[in-house]
Structure 1
Amino acid sequence: MCDRKKIVLSWAALLLSFTSLFISSWIIIPAPNMFLLNLAVGAPEVSPWLFGLNLFSLLLCFFCIRQRQLQRLTCIVSLIGLLICALVLVNIPSTQIQMSEAMKRGLGQDYLDKIPVLASAKMQPSPFVLANTLQGISSGKTRHQSGILFAMPAGVPLKIEVYQPPKVGKYPALVVIYGGAWQYGTPHANREFNQYMASHGYTVFAIDYRHAPQYRFPAQLDDVNTALNFIRQHASEYEADPQRMILLGRSAGAHLAMLAAYQSDAPPIRAVVSYYGPVDLTQGYKSPPYPDPINTRAVLKRFIGGSVEEFPHEYQIASPINYVTHSLPPTLLVYGSRDHLVEARYGRQMYQRLHDSENTAVFLEIPWAEHAFDAIFNGVSNQLALYHTERFLAWALSN
């Protein structure tokens, strides 16, 4: 019986080490399809957990495996997993330094001095806290209103989710636009982020829009503009200040946020935040990423109605980079270096175009992050992004 237990434990340790390595490997391996993209997105964000899992499997191989060859194999597999996870963990300090320097370049060396003390006190005190990765990022109490109808274009009901601070007051309006390749998603997305921001002094409006391919561009932009007008007209009902409005979007939502903010007839917008948003649809079609798990060209065809050869003008007018002029709202661009849906090079191009046009812009790049890294709210990348996003918003509202 004792020998049988040792055999079972040995194989269990080996299985654990291979499982840990398999999950950890997606920190460095590009995902070839949407199924594996979930692992590529999540693995870097839970790297502290994976590091501990690989370390545990390494310890098991010493204490539970007596067969030398099996022990050696398990140790090698566990060590490889540890090294892969360490690639993220050891780069956190240098990435934070780079992000802090980027904020100072974009907003000024003394930008933190312009943030009110009360606002600073509510923010995350550190860019990365290991305990937050393990136990989550705490949010205070909020008020939540669901299913607020703001429009019925073509008979499609479009609704808003509103998150408010616990106390009655008048707060900046943070308009959040979800991603989903312009084809899917709901205002319920990123609920943790919305609750967090509301508990820290924002009235958060998570808005909806019609989806492709049934509704093609510019239907989505029309819906965002309709939502902005609704929010401005009903701001007092939801304790929001229409003169202190900020747009924040993710992926397709970031694309719509930039388009809406950069229009010549846009309402007053204090700032716009783009998390991994497409900026140049023409180049995105002509030069898709490799690997291309989402099939970029097919997504763009469904959104615009056809290829860039068929609709060159439509691709141009749907690209935020073509709307860059002087005196646009301050823009924060956050991208992952390993993004295989919207490559970081597009974020850099947008930053350069904004900078050259004398607009205030900040470009933050997270070396290990994939697309939708902030889906794991307490993950490594989102902690860094949230830390700087909070400060960018507070700075924008103080000017």
Structure 2
Amino acid sequence: MVKLILTIILFLISLLTVLPAPAFYLWLLAIAVDEFPWIFAAIILVIIFINFRSSSYQLPTMILAIISLGLYLSPVFRSYLVGRELEKNLAVAFGKEIKKGAFEFRPFSYTQMFKPKEKTPCQSVSYYKNGKTDLKLDFYPSQIKGKKPCVIIVHGGSWKSGDSQQLPELNSYLAKNGYHVAAINYRLAPEFQSPAPVKDISNAFRFLKEKSTEWNIDTTNFILLGRSAGAQIALLAGYSLKEPGLKGIVDLYGPADMVWGYSIPSNPLIMDSRKVMEDYLGGGYSGHPEKFEKSSPLLFVTKQSPPTLLIHGKNDVLVAYEHSKRLNAKLEENGVKHYLITLPWATHAFDYNLYGPGGQISTYAIMYFLKSVTEQP
């Protein structure tokens, strides 16, 4: 009986690979299910093995276990399918074919899922001081010598939390492969509201240019990369600041249409999205429509906007996939080089594990994009 109950629980958990999480802690579990699927698959295989040696509830246990196993492995299969066409699609979208072997990461590899995490050194420095405000960034120098492009990373956290230490594995990987990385902190809501974080990015650009000789930064090759709320900030800065050295933007599951987003709130068991936006923008849409419009990256897209890579999971329960669809359409309308990678199984923060199914796809795409737009040899 215990074996059957455990199998039922595991079956219910496996549904998170195909259905949106209905509550906050189930969303956290969904990240683990989607990006560490082999752990859950291994548990199911143990149950199947034990079940062969047991006579009690053998048939129902076996049926549920086999279905669960298929669901747990589905992100792996679907990641393979997305990765199979990814290189070709990116080459068409950004007009540059990267030679095979230019970087070690592949769109998807089963063996790659078990690689150990890498870590490169970084230094934390203040990039902007004004009164009590002291903003720091973590600088990861390129591990390949010479003047190199710089990727500015903008963390997520609903505009009110998070910091530059968020998901550092990608920073280390980029530094190892010839990119400087500046993971920045910015002023947080509700004390500071939009457009304060965009001004912080402007100050980060200024600081990195001042440091360019000392740190060997190629100031003609900057990239902005943001996650979630950080992606909204990165997109808005990228489309509105007109930074001459900015060559591209990477948008990982970011809110691009603040007006639409406020009109369709997320599941309150996950997050009070309207309250989050009100804290960031100083109130609701009815009283401050201009603030919502001025904070919607989609409305700042022009024919001169920098190339943009969008990556979003269809099962995202914090920032609706529709945001990326809308931005994708606006970029298409204006003839901006762009590509939207859709991950059918993935939820918010799917890139938590650099070597998980979603993490592999996003890391490969980011590397391909960087090499395409920064004219790296």
Q: Same fold (TM over 0.5)?
A: yes
Q: Compared with structure 1, are the counterparts of its residues 397 and 183 closer, same or farther at alpha carbon in structure 2 (3 Å cutoff)?
A: same
AA of the residue aligned to 2:235: M
What is the CA–CA distance in structure 2 between the aligned matches of 1:325 and 1:171, rounded to whole Å?
28
Alignment of 1:1-399 (within 5 A): 11=2, 13-14=3-4, 16-63=6-53, 65-67=54-56, 70-108=57-95, 111-112=96-97, 115=98, 120-124=101-105, 126-136=106-116, 139=118, 142-146=120-124, 148-153=125-130, 155-290=132-267, 293-398=270-375
Deviations 1:7-37 (A, max 9, x none): xxx73x4455345334323223322332221
Task: Name the count of aligned residue pairs.
Answer: 376
Where do 5+ consecutive residues of structure 2 fail to align? none
Where do 5+ consecutive residues of structure 1 fail to align? 1-9
- For the residue of structure 2 that corresponds to 1:340, the secondary structure is coil
What is the CA–CA distance in structure 1 between the aligned matches of 2:219 and 2:346, rounded to whole Å?
34
- What residue number does 1:3 align with? none
Conserved 8 A contact 2:19-2:315: no
- For the residue of structure 1 that corresponds to 2:348, the secondary structure is coil
- The alignment's C-alpha RMSD in Å is 2.1
What is the CA–CA distance in structure 2 between the aligned matches of 1:28 and 1:93, rounded to whole Å?
16
Percent identical pairs in the alignment equals 30
- For the residue of structure 2 that corresponds to 1:241, the secondary structure is strand
AA of the residue aligned to 1:323: F
Kindly report structure 1 stretches of 4+ aligned residues shifted beyond 3 Å: 13-16, 97-102, 289-292
AA of the residue aligned to 1:354: L
Instruction: Return the offset for 1:202.
Output: 0.6
Structure with greater Cα Rg: 1
Instruction: Return the offset for 1:215.
Output: 1.0
Deviations 1:146-194 (A, max 9, x none): 2x01113451221010111335432111111111110101111111110
Conserved 8 A contact 1:21-1:54: no
Conserved 8 A contact 2:87-2:107: no
What is the CA–CA distance in structure 2 between the aligned matches of 1:153 and 1:319, rounded to whole Å?
27
What is the CA–CA distance in structure 1 between the aligned matches of 2:19 and 2:350, rounded to whole Å?
15
Query: With structure 1 as the length reference, what TM-score do the two structures score?
Result: 0.88
- For the residue of structure 2 that corresponds to 1:89, the secondary structure is helix
Bigger helix fraction: 1
Query: With structure 2 as the length reference, what TM-score do the two structures score?
Result: 0.93
